[in-house]
Amino acid sequence: MKVIILGAGQVGTSVAESLVSEKNDITVVDFDSGRLAYLQERFDLRTVIGNAATPSTLRRAGAEDADMIIAVTQSDQSNLVACKLAQSVFNVPTRIARLRSEDFLQDESLLSTDHFAVDFALCPEQVITDYIRRLVEFPEALQVLSFARGRVSLVAVRAYEGGALVGKPIRALRDLLPIETDARVAAIFRRDQPVAPEGDTVVEVGDEVFLLAAAENIRPVLHQLRRMVNRVERVMIAGGGNIGIRLARVLEDHYEIKLLESHRERAELLANELDDTLVLLGDATDEELLEQENISEMDLFLALTNVDEDNIMACSLAKRLGCKRVVALVNRRAYAEMIEGGPVDIGISPAQISISTLLAYVRHGDVAEVHSLRRGAAEALEMVAHGDPKTSKVVGRRIDQVDWPKGVTVAALVRNFDKPIVVGQTDDWTSITRYGEVVIAHHNTVIEAGDHVIVFCTRKKLVKKVEALFQVGFHFL
CATH number of the structural domain spanning residue 384: 3.30.70.1450
274 shares a domain with 315: yes
Give the up-direction half-sphere exposure of residue 396: CA atoms within 13 A in the CB hemisphere: 9
107 shares a domain with 50: yes
Under a CB-based contact definition with an 8 Å cutoff, are residues 296 and 236 in contact?
no
Residue 359's pLDDT is what? 78
285 shares a domain with 363: no
d(CA 52, CA 382) in angstroms, rounded, equals 33
Residue 340's pLDDT is what? 63
Q: What percent of the chain has pLDDT over 70?
A: 93
Q: Using the 8-state DSSP alphabet, how is residue 328 labeled? A: E
**Mean pLDDT along residues 92-112:** 87
CA angle 370, 214, 243 (to 5 degrees): 50
d(CA 210, CA 236) in angstroms, rounded, equals 28
Give the tens place of pLDDT for each residue, 119-176: 999 888 888 999 999 999 888 888 888 898 889 999 898 888 877 888 999 988 888 8
Q: Where are the alpha helices (DSSP H) in 89-150?
A: 102-106, 124-137
364 shares a domain with 318: no
Under a CB-based contact definition with an 8 Å cutoff, are residues 181 and 131 in contact?
no
Helix, strand and coil percent figures for the chain, each rounded to 5 = 35, 30, 40
375 shares a domain with 318: no
Q: What is the mean pLDDT of the chain?
A: 88
- 179 located within any domain: no
d(CA 248, CA 267) in angstroms, rounded, equals 13
- 130 located within any domain: no
365 shares a domain with 442: yes
Under a CB-based contact definition with an 8 Å cutoff, are residues 237 and 257 in contact?
yes
Residues with Cβ within 8 Å of residue 3, at least 6 apart in sequence: 19, 24, 25, 26, 27, 66, 67, 68, 69, 70, 362
Give the up-direction half-sphere exposure of residue 246: CA atoms within 13 A in the CB hemisphere: 18
CATH number of the structural domain spanning residue 110: 3.40.50.720
283 shares a domain with 365: no
Give the tens place of pLDDT for each residue, 1-21: 899 999 998 889 988 988 887
Residue 81's pLDDT is what? 96
60 shares a domain with 23: yes
- Residue 341: pLDDT band by 50, 70, 90 thresholds? low
299 shares a domain with 398: no
383 shares a domain with 316: no
- 395 located within any domain: yes
CB atoms inside a 10 Å sphere around CB 276? 13
Domain boundary among 122, 157, 175: 122
Residue 225's pLDDT is what? 63
Residue 477's pLDDT is what? 42
**Structural domains in the chain (count):** 3
Give the tens place of pLDDT for each residue, 400-411: 999 999 999 999
Burial class (CB in 10 A: 0-12, 13-18, 19+), 288: exposed
Query: Is the pLDDT score of 30 beyond 60?
Result: yes
Under a CB-based contact definition with an 8 Å cutoff, are residues 392 and 386 in contact?
yes
Burial class (CB in 10 A: 0-12, 13-18, 19+), 466: buried
Give the up-direction half-sphere exposure of residue 324: CA atoms within 13 A in the CB hemisphere: 15
Which residue did the predictor score with more confidence, 375 or 121?
Answer: 121
d(CA 329, CA 315) in angstroms, rounded, equals 10
Give the strand order in the sheet containing 277-281: 277-281, 256-261, 234-238, 300-303, 326-329, 346-348
Give the up-direction half-sphere exposure of residue 170: CA atoms within 13 A in the CB hemisphere: 20
CB atoms inside a 10 Å sphere around CB 185? 25
Listed range (235-239, 324-328, 357-361) with the worst mean pLDDT? 357-361
d(CA 466, CA 403) in angstroms, rounded, equals 10
| pTM listed for this prediction | 0.82
d(CA 465, CA 451) in angstroms, rounded, equals 19
Could you give the maximum distance between any two Cα atoms of the chain, in Å? Answer: 70
- 279 located within any domain: yes
Q: What is residue 20's three-state secondary structure? A: helix
Buried b (16+ CB within 10 A) or exposed e, 320-354: eeebbbbbbbbbebebbbebbeebbbbbbbbbbbb
307 shares a domain with 252: yes
Domain holding 406, by residue range, is 353-470
Under a CB-based contact definition with an 8 Å cutoff, are residues 247 and 133 in contact?
yes
Mutual orientation of helices 242-251 and 264-273 as an angle, nearest 10°? 30
Domain boundary among 94, 122, 150: 122
d(CA 212, CA 413) in angstroms, rounded, equals 11
Domain boundary among 99, 122, 145: 122
- Residue 376: pLDDT band by 50, 70, 90 thresholds? low
- Residue 394: pLDDT band by 50, 70, 90 thresholds? very high
Residue 476's pLDDT is what? 44
- 195 located within any domain: no
374 shares a domain with 304: no
